[in-house]
Amino acid sequence: MKNILILDYGMGNIASVKKAIKKLGYHSIVSDHISLNENYDCIILPGVGSFKTAMQNIKKNKTDCILKELVVKRNQKILGICLGMQLLAEYGDEPVLSEGLGLINGHVKKMTLKPNRLPHVGWNNVVVNNSKFNSFHNKDFYFIHSYSFVVEDKLDVMMSVHVDDKEFTAAVNRNNIYGTQFHPEKSQDFGLDLLKNIIDAKT
Amino acid sequence: MLKLRLIPVLTYNGFALVKTKSFGKNPRMVGNPIQAARVFNSRKVDELVFTDIFATRQSRKLNLNVVEKVINECFMPVSIGGNVSNLEDINDLLKIGADKVVINSNAFHDSFINKAADMFGESTIILSVDILIESKKKFILLSGKKYPLENYIDKIKNYNYGELFLTSVNNEGTQQGFDIDLFNFFYESVDKPIIFNGGAGNLNHFYDLFSKTKIEAVASSSIFYFTQYNPDDIKKEIKKIRNNVRL
């Protein structure tokens, strides 16, 4: 049985993530407690709300330090979803400049769109840059966000998305670190497939 | 490319799904919300909206047990509304898996909607407004009473929220077509994504709306109960004039 933790740090839609993982046939635990004594197959960082509040919550009980130890030093898999993906960055601007987990280099900044409006909300197709995930090329996923992860190293951008004539980060990946700006748990069959692919991916 | 959205709306009266006509009395019973959610999920609709349309007027709270069962059927985003009046209500809905929360009349009490957006993020909050037109004048309906829209339009422009759910009261449930002028008025006035609701009865109505406006999201209800059309039929019709359709 896989040891999947959905980290509950007081931000957002945890029930949907748990439901999606159950649908895949996996068991997951929702908890605000993360332990150095556990060997997680996947730590899922969901989240909706503001970057700054989220980081304040994660810094309580030194959850941020434990996360870094497990992910960076012990190579355990992490998947950030939506705001959870943005928290992987070094910095975020929502609502004011604050430090993120710094697991992937880059900065989360407010988007500017025209003629589309903020938030970028709805289904949008992704461009896949990582051959392991080629089967998801051009598939539609559900997005809802006004800030976007500007990633420093292009190789970390696993998927991108186009709004108007601009390109934004749709998903990131570096080794055992994954993040999706869209909500795979809300993106019907392809979303569930992607979730399974990430959970099953070798680190 | 961002796809346009077609969003079925489930309107609930505390016991069953019902369908009103221009918000009139004696709504028609149209089924069970959980079964309806299951059907729309299997049809892979873009999103779903569920609202208890009598909760505020009857001073009731949402039946979270029913709401949770509706949400559990859905692997697409679900927005929930019905007398959402404090932060606790929103928290309760998010906890059971709601993606977005719809706030109608209560939005304007002490600018409650701004507090909600501060706490849960703008994109989690949908402002729902019901617009009635009488003698060419626009009114907003709040808890069943009408007020001149001009007293509220600045608030609607300036409040913090993610999307505007706009219902044409006159056309709602009539299946006689959309009020295109009403949509355009709000599209020019408000700088947010708008979900337009009220009036669809056949495929021509969608063709009309999408060819004459810049609309990106449309909500519908009656057409799914009282005609043979399903969401895919409608999207195929829209695809004739717009490329960005998710089929």
Contacts of A123 in chain B (CB under 8 A): 2-3, 5, 46, 246
The tokens 């990582």 sit on which residue? A130
Mutate to test the interface with B, among A108, A121, A125 (most CBs of B within 10 A): A121
Among the listed residues A150, A149, A164, the one whose alpha carbon sits nearest the alpha carbon of residue A117: A164
Residue A107 has pLDDT above 80, yes or no: yes
Distance CA B113, CA A44 (A): 30
- Each residue's pLDDT expressed in tens, for chain B with a length of 247 residues: 999 999 999 999 999 999 999 999 889 999 999 999 999 999 999 999 999 999 999 999 999 999 999 999 999 999 999 999 999 999 999 989 999 999 999 999 999 999 999 888 899 999 999 999 999 999 999 999 999 999 999 999 999 999 999 999 999 999 999 999 999 999 999 999 999 999 999 999 999 999 999 999 999 999 999 999 999 999 999 999 999 999 9
- Count helices and strands (H / E) in chain A: 5, 13
Look up the pTM and report it: 0.96
Give the per-residue pLDDT at A197: 98
Amino acid, single-letter form, for residue B33: P
Give the per-residue pLDDT at A48: 85
Point out the residue among B77, B96, B193 whose CB comes nearest to the CB of A186: B77
CB A130, CB A158: distance < 8 Å: yes
Point out the residue among B77, B97, B192 whose CB comes nearest to the CB of A117: B192
Residue A13 has pLDDT above 80, yes or no: no
Q: Could you give phi then psi for residue B161, rounded to 5 degrees?
A: -170, 170
The string of DSSP letters for chain B reads -BPPEEEEEEEE-SSSEEE-STT-SSPEEEE-HHHHHHHHHHTT-S-EEEEETTTTTTT----HHHHHHHHHT-SS-EEEESS--SHHHHHHHHHTT-SEEEE-GGGGGGGHHHHHHHHH-GGGEEEEEEEEEETTEEEEEETTEEEEGGGTHHHHHHS--SEEEEEETTTTTT-S---HHHHHHHHHH--S-EEEES---SHHHHHHHHHHS---EEEESHHHHHSS--HHHHHHHHHTT-S----
Residue A61 has pLDDT above 90, yes or no: no
Minimal C-alpha gap between A111 and chain B (Å): 14
Amino acid, single-letter form, for residue A174: R
Residue A39 has pLDDT above 90, yes or no: yes
- Between A and B, how many CB-CB pairs are < 8 A? 94
Contacts of A125 in chain B (CB under 8 A): 1, 3
Distance CA B181, CA B169 (A): 14
Which chain A residue's Cα is nearest to B5?
Answer: A122
Total Cβ atoms within 10 A of residue A191: 23
Q: What is the ipTM of this complex?
A: 0.96
Distance CA B194, CA A46 (A): 26
* Average pLDDT for chain A: 96
Give the per-residue pLDDT at A203: 80
Minimal C-alpha gap between B192 and chain A (Å): 6
Point out the residue among A49, A188, A192 whose CB comes nearest to the CB of B120: A49
Give the number of C-alpha atoms closer than 13 A to the C-alpha of residue B189, restricted to the C-beta side: 18
Minimal C-alpha gap between A105 and chain B (Å): 24
Average pLDDT over residues A96-106: 97
Point out the residue among B3, B72, B119 whose CB comes nearest to the CB of A19: B72
B22: left (phi over 0), alpha (psi -120 to 50) or beta: left
The DSSP letter of residue A199 is H
Q: Is the CB of A16 less than 8 angstroms away from the CB of B99? A: yes
Distance CA A173, CA A130 (A): 9
pLDDT digit string (tens) for A63-93?
A: 999 999 999 999 999 999 999 999 999 999 9
Tokens of B197: 């609701």
The tokens 């519908």 sit on which residue? B220
CB A40, CB A79: distance < 8 Å: no
Mutate to test the interface with B, among A186, A189, A195 (most CBs of B within 10 A): A186
Minimal C-alpha gap between A82 and chain B (Å): 12
Q: Is the CB of A122 less than 8 angstroms away from the CB of B75? A: no
Please give the distance of CA A125 from its chain centroid, rounded to a whole number.
Answer: 17
pLDDT digit string (tens) for A145-155?
A: 999 999 999 99
Contacts of A23 in chain B (CB under 8 A): 75
Give the per-residue pLDDT at A81: 97
Contacts of B163 in chain A (CB under 8 A): 119, 121
Total Cβ atoms within 10 A of residue A113: 15
Average pLDDT over residues A117-139: 97
Q: Is the CB of A117 less than 8 angstroms away from the CB of B99? A: no
Point out the residue among A15, A144, A145 whose CB comes nearest to the CB of B97: A15
